Amino acid sequence: MEHLVVHGGHRLDGSVQVGGAKNAILPLLPAALMAKGKAIIRNVPRLTDVETMMELLRSLGCTAEWEGEHRLAVERQDDAAFEAPLELVRKMRASIWVLAPLLATRGQAVVPLPGGCVIGDRPVDMHIKGLCAMGAEIEITGGNLTAIAQNGLHGAEIYLGGHFGSSVGATVQVMLAGVLAKGKTILHSAACEPEISDLANCLNLMGAKILGAGSPRLEIEGVEELNAVDYYVIPDRIEAATLLMAGAITDGEVEVTDVRPDHLSAVLSSLRQANVFVEVNERSIRVRNNGPLKSIDVTTHQYPGFPTDAQAQLMALLTNAEGYSIISEQIFPDRFRHIGELNRLGANIRKATNHAIVRGRQTLTGARVEATDLRASAALILAGLVAEGETEVEQLEHLDRGYDRLEDKLRALGAVLERVA
Ligand code: EPZ
């Protein structure tokens, strides 16, 4: 098994380019199942999640190839297959986004239930609610979602607010179902994440008619067909947040380029509150040490609130702040598996229901730690950058799902770390 050996104590300085957004690309790829012609997607990072989605599309009658370092070509060839392979869906829950395109183009779909993961049990009830409102009949048998829409899908007025508020996944699912449905779909309590807006922008270029993306109310007028386009996806705001926090935790000066600062307002606000100097330019952000880090209280929310995907990284940063910080997780209340591993490095963090109390100014010392999920991996690497001695981060398959050569980017900024087989 590969692991990362991080040598602590090296300040990060310099400028690094951020890659394309994983969570914008993963909803975009299933849309190719509904388009005519060859789709080109640019600014695509080399992630195992992207490879998994490409494999899934190939299993459903598409060609999907890399045409350049960060450029994909996807083309639908035939509409025969309608069953998503279990081994692929198990690897990545975003696979469930093939459900709507399969129903829209083939009238049926069999997609294994994605199941839970360490950050939560990940239900899909809102996906099912939306598709059933649009005419699908869905059964859960043998761990599979078996869906039929014999007369195709039709528009509907749907409220998609759940126990934890809006759902990115369910919003994507209904958008993909609505673009070829008969009539108009109105979606209330839609997710407002930038990745939703990016999907809507791309679908509209393909010929869809979607209004209101980025707001809680979406209107989708169904059309007859979609044509594949050449599309450049938005930067990854979570990778940007991770790299900025890597600079801040080492008291360094780090600039991230090719970013959308407007996608990071909550993150930048929290960094400033923690006494990090933050300078924002049109497509770049720079952080610099501004004296000791201060403890802060942060609650994760749907966009534009503080993103749950940056929560673990912030927790690592706040182990170095003066005083006690409180991080409240409102989206995935169980998303705290990184607490135990950070405490193995000498942090002093206590979980109380969906709150983490982080005692600051703890001296961290290197140890062998296990990454439990994608963002926990990043948090442990950040902590390793300042822990005394060596920190060995295991289970790198989680990291590689969502970060494109993060260790190379950190090394270019002055970090000393290596991947060891
Ligand atoms: C997407 O997951 C992202 N994944 C997650 O990023 C991100 O953390 C999450 O949105 C929130 O922003 C991708 O885009 C591939 P949700 P998703 O549906 O769609 C509950 C990462 O690290 N819910 O917005 O699964 C759910 O349990 C990953 O890149 C239901 O109850 O998230 C959660 O509590 C991790 N029923 C809340 O809603 C449903 O049918 C928000 O989940 C669907 C969701």
Contact 366, 200 (CB under 8 A): no
Choose the final residue of a domain: 213, 232, 251.
232
Same domain, 342 and 370: yes
Q: Compute the CA torsion angle 407, 412, 416, 420 (nearest 10 deg).
A: 40
Tens-place pLDDT, residues 346-363:
999 999 999 999 999 989
pLDDT score of 342: 98
List the residue whose alpha carbon is closest to atom 28 of ligand 1. 309
Choose the final residue of a domain: 232, 247, 275.
232
Contact 338, 376 (CB under 8 A): yes
pLDDT score of 1: 82
Whether residue 170 has its Cβ less than 6 Å from ligand 1: yes
Contact 306, 283 (CB under 8 A): no
pLDDT score of 55: 97
Q: Where residue 414 sits, what CATH number does that domain have? A: 3.65.10.10
How far, in Å, is the centroid of ligand 1 from the Cα of 167?
Answer: 6
Q: How far is CA 382 from CA 49, 285, 392, in A?
A: 22, 19, 12
Same domain, 396 and 289: yes
Same domain, 320 and 203: no
Same domain, 79 and 9: no
| Ligand 1 atom nearest residue 172's Cα | 19
How far, in Å, is the centroid of ligand 1 from the Cα of 168?
Answer: 6
Query: For a pLDDT cut of 70, what percent of the chain falls above it?
Result: 100
Return the DSSP state at 331: S
Mean pLDDT, residues 355-373 taken together: 95
Same domain, 227 and 121: yes
Mean pLDDT, residues 190-201 taken together: 98
Separation of alpha carbons 246 and 310, rounded Å: 12
Tens-place pLDDT, residues 157-167:
999 999 999 99
Does the annotation count 192 as an active-site position? no
192, burial (CB in 10 Å: exposed 0-12, middle 13-18, buried 19+): buried
* Structural domain boundaries, residue 15: 3-19+235-420
Q: Is residue 115 predicted with pLDDT exceeding 80? A: no
Mean pLDDT, residues 283-304 taken together: 97
Q: Is residue 95 predicted with pLDDT exceeding 80? A: yes
Number of domains in the chain: 2
* Band (384; pLDDT cuts 50, 70, 90): very high
Q: Is residue 231 predicted with pLDDT exceeding 90? A: yes
* Band (122; pLDDT cuts 50, 70, 90): confident
What average pLDDT is seen over the chain? 97
Mean pLDDT, residues 172-200 taken together: 98
pLDDT score of 101: 98
Mean pLDDT, residues 50-73 taken together: 97
Same domain, 102 and 79: yes
Mean pLDDT, residues 396-406 taken together: 95
Same domain, 372 and 252: yes
Same domain, 245 and 205: no
Same domain, 82 and 195: yes
* Band (118; pLDDT cuts 50, 70, 90): confident
Separation of alpha carbons 173 and 273, rounded Å: 36
pLDDT score of 225: 97
Same domain, 81 and 15: no
Whether residue 241 has its Cβ less than 6 Å from ligand 1: no
Whether residue 407 has its Cβ less than 6 Å from ligand 1: no
Same domain, 59 and 146: yes
Residue 269 token pair: 């606000």
pLDDT score of 121: 83
Same domain, 182 and 293: no
Separation of alpha carbons 67 and 301, rounded Å: 37
Mean pLDDT, residues 137-154 taken together: 95
Q: Is residue 116 predicted with pLDDT exceeding 80? A: no
pLDDT score of 132: 98
Q: How far is CA 239 from CA 75, 123, 203, 324, 386, in A?
A: 28, 26, 24, 26, 19
Residue 271 token pair: 């960094």
Separation of alpha carbons 301 and 99, rounded Å: 27
For the chain, what percentages of helix, strand and coil (3-state, to nearest 5) are there? 35, 30, 35
Choose the final residue of a domain: 204, 232, 260.
232
Phi, psi of 8 (to 5 degrees): -75, 165
Mean pLDDT, residues 81-88 taken together: 95
pLDDT score of 43: 98
